[in-house]
Structure 1
Amino acid sequence: MASSEKKHSASNPFFGFLGPAKDATTSSALQAHLVAMSGEFVGTFMFLFLAYCGHTMSVDQSPISGTGPDGTNSATTVVYISLSYGLALLVTVWTMYRISGGLFNPAVTLGLTVTGNIPFVRGLLLFPVQIIASMVAAGVFLTAIFIMNILMLAAEKSKDTFIAPIGIGLTLFICEIAGVFYTGASLNPARSFGPCIAGRNFQSYHWIYWIGPLLGALVASGYYHFVKFFNYEDANPGQDSSGGDNGGSHYSHQEAEG
């Protein structure tokens, strides 16, 4: 009974009802490439979605008196835009680096490919994924980004787990920058419910603040189970290495051959 309960634990891929696609020692180079491609798509998508929302909010909310000469953005607006891109990149790379490396940029991919830090085939596969993700970064549940960050920084254990609260807090911060202007960026049904009780007023659209976050949590959890199922650790090995330990090699021999 205890063995069965352990097997069907929620911490296992697909709750233990489906075992890993392959044993970690026999995962193929193709599987590793596909997992990395999925991570790069999701990461690029999350990064640019947050950055785009923060950028447009900064411009739309900039007062007329705050614009610079010749209709250019004021210094304040430029700072907000920069924060949107910089913090969005920080939290999404931190979330996804152990799956794909957290490149999110064809120029970065090219640089790492020509210097031999990632295999040529991997770089060739990541280019179109990053471009497609940039084109579709127009809508996603903000809660999905927040939950994915929690799962990869706190639920998954690594050398930086002890500072996961910093990453989680920064993720919430950038999600608020991206979403407050458009939706209120609750990301938390309890946060939405409390003020309604205190104010004795439930908006007709209050249900959105339950359905949105809950669906976002399911989306993030689904992808988390997906990468666990396909042994994401083999897609980009050595990411937790400090350079001098046994985890220092970047790719397995199978990936090098791929």
Structure 2
Amino acid sequence: MGSNQMIAIWGSPGSGKTVVSMKLARILASKQKTVALVLCDLLCPMLPVLFPTIDPKERSLGILLTKADMNQEAILSNLILPNDGEFIGVLGYKKGENSTSYPDYTVEKAADLFLLLRHKVDYVIVDCTSQLSGDDLSTVALRDADQVLRCGTADLKGLSFFDAQLPVLSMNKAFRTERHLKALSGFKSYSPKKEVAEAYGNIDFFLSFAEEIERQCLEGRLLDPLKTSEGKSFVKELKRFALEVFDE
């Protein structure tokens, strides 16, 4: 595909969407590509979870989406730069914010945000919420993304989630659900990997559970490199995804 692309990471609750988004951002940044990571979750704002030592001050995705004059300067002023500004910028909601913190924004404003980001960086990665109802940012990302990676857990809950959500999404051809790439993620050695993969059908990528990644999540260090064999296996599969989708 090349640069100036947007990918939406979407899937069932607990399927590791944020982990995949963060690790993919790191892979692309390691190739000296600029990446904007958009964290859509307002139910549980992810900035204080992923970057507990960073004070965003007055920077927030909510401020940006409700600005009357959103432009690239406004985007830059609301970006979090976790690695001293080197290749990765993050937009998200900050600690304490919730659905009443800001006025509603329009679908057009969400689309404008992604368009402006595409002009500013090589890659836009959108960490979508699982529940699309009421989340126009995730919905627009799924509609407008060049590629969607659909993450599913290796259990009956994941299967039930997609049985409930996909028929609704598939009703609108703009979402091109038939083109989604599918990943089975976070599965462990005892997970019914084969059976669930068959139920999902045509799994493209297998992103297994790694204790090292879980530890990084708990410590707010997901942009750190992975050193264990499990962690490296996860990264290897995600690099295969980056190569197939972005030619990176």
TM-score (normalised: structure 2): 0.27
Higher share in helix? 1
Q: Which structure has more strand as a fraction of its residues?
A: 2
